[in-house]
Amino acid sequence: MSEVLTIRGLTKRFGGLVAVNGVDLRVEEKETVGIIGPNGSGKTTLFNLITGLFQPTAGQIVFMDRDVTSARPEQRVAAGMVRTFQLVSVFNSLRVWENLVLCVTRFDAAHSSIWKFMTSPATGGTIRDDCYGVLRLVGLEDKAGTMTSELSYGDKRLLEIAIALSLKPKLLLLDEPLSGLSDVEVVDILNLLRRIKRDVTIIIIEHKVSMIVDFVDRLCVMNEGRFVSEGEPSEVLRDPAVQKCYWGKEGTRGC
C-alpha cells in the first residue's frame, strides 16, 4: 500500500496557545483513520492545517508524494484532498443538484473560468450524469430538485458528503459528520460511509467514540494538541492514558 498523507511535526500556535503540538501522522491508501479527543483538543485545527485553511507554525504536510505545506486550499482540493465541516456547509439558496454541479464545475478543467462555465452548459453530458450518480449513491436522487434550505439536517449532511464525493477525493476528511443528527440519520450516514470506505481513504473526527469504533481501521486520540495514543481501536480505548484524558478519570467506563 502507498502513503496518501504524511504529516511531520505539525504545530499551530495561536498566541500563547499551542492548539496542535508536533503531530506526526501517516495514512495509507484506502485506510480509515479515526481521530477522537475532548473538546478543544485540536482536532478541527489539525484538519484546518491539513486542508490549508491555516498555515502551520511548524511542520510539513505531504499529500500523494507532494509537499503541500504551502499550497492553497483549492490547490489541495484539485489534488484530491476534500473535507466536510463540523457545521454542515452547503449552499442553502440553490437546489440540491445545483450544489453538486457548482462544485464539480469549479474543479473541472473544462469549466474552470467564468467564460468556460457560461459557454459550456453544466446541465449537459458527463457532469450531470456524475452528479446524479453521486446523488443516487447517497440516496438523495429523489430530492435533486428540492431547495437545499428545505432539507433536513441529516439530508444536508448527506448532500455535503455528496459534494465531497463528486470531487472524486483521494483523501476525504470528515469533521464530526454525525454531530447534531438523530439516531436514524446517524445510521444513514454510517451506512453511506461503510459503502464508500472501500474506495476512498478517510480520516474522520468524531466525538461519540462508540459510533466509529467498529468503522475505523485505526484510532488516534488527541489531547491538548498532541496524539496521546494511536493504534487498533479496541486496544486504544483500553489505554489508561486515553481513559484519563477522554473520560476524565483513569478506569472510568460508560463512554
Ligand X SMILES: Nc1ncnc2c1ncn2[C@@H]1O[C@H](COP(=O)(O)OP(=O)(O)O)[C@@H](O)[C@H]1O
Helix (H, G, I), strand (E, B), or coil: what is residue 59? strand
Give the one entry of ligand X, Mg ion, none that residue 14 binds, where binding means its C-beta sits below a cut-off of 5 to 8 angstroms depending on kind: ligand X
Give the one entry of ligand X, Mg ion, none that residue 11 binds, where binding means its C-beta sits below a cut-off of 5 to 8 angstroms depending on kind: none
> How many other CB atoms are found less than 10 A from the CB of residue 118?
10
Closest CA to 201 of 36, 49, 23, 50: 50
The sign of the dihedral angle between the CA atoms of 67, 73, 74, 78 is: positive
Give the distance from CA 127 to its chain's centroid.
Answer: 23
Shortest Cβ 2–ligand X spacing (Å): 29
Q: 180 with 211: CB under 8 angstroms? A: no
Interface pick for ligand X out of 10, 19, 36, 71 (rule CB under 6 A): 19
Q: 147 with 95: CB under 8 angstroms? A: yes
Position 44 contacts Mg ion (CB under 5 A): yes
Q: In the sheet that 32-36 helps form, which strands lie side by side, from edge to edge?
A: 81-84, 171-175, 201-205, 32-36, 218-223, 226-231
Considering only the stretches 83-91, 144-152, 186-194, 219-227, report the one whose residues sit in contact with Mg ion under the rule CB under 5 A. 83-91
Interface pick for ligand X out of 9, 40, 231, 240 (rule CB under 6 A): 40
Shortest Cβ 21–Mg ion spacing (Å): 16
Considering only the stretches 37-45, 124-132, 135-143, 228-236, report the one whose residues sit in contact with ligand X under the rule CB under 6 A. 37-45
Q: 11 with 56: CB under 8 angstroms? A: yes
Q: Which lies closer to ligand X via its Cβ, residue 165 or residue 202?
A: 202
Q: Which lies closer to ligand X via its Cβ, residue 6 or residue 86?
A: 86
Shortest Cβ 68–ligand X spacing (Å): 20
Q: Which lies closer to Mg ion via its Cβ, residue 96 or residue 209?
A: 209
Shortest Cβ 164–ligand X spacing (Å): 19
Shortest Cβ 94–Mg ion spacing (Å): 26
Measured distance CA(209)–CA(254) in Å, rounded: 11
Which residues contact Mg ion by CB under 5 A? 43-44, 86
Enumerate binding residues for ligand X (CB under 6 A).
14, 17, 19, 37, 39-45
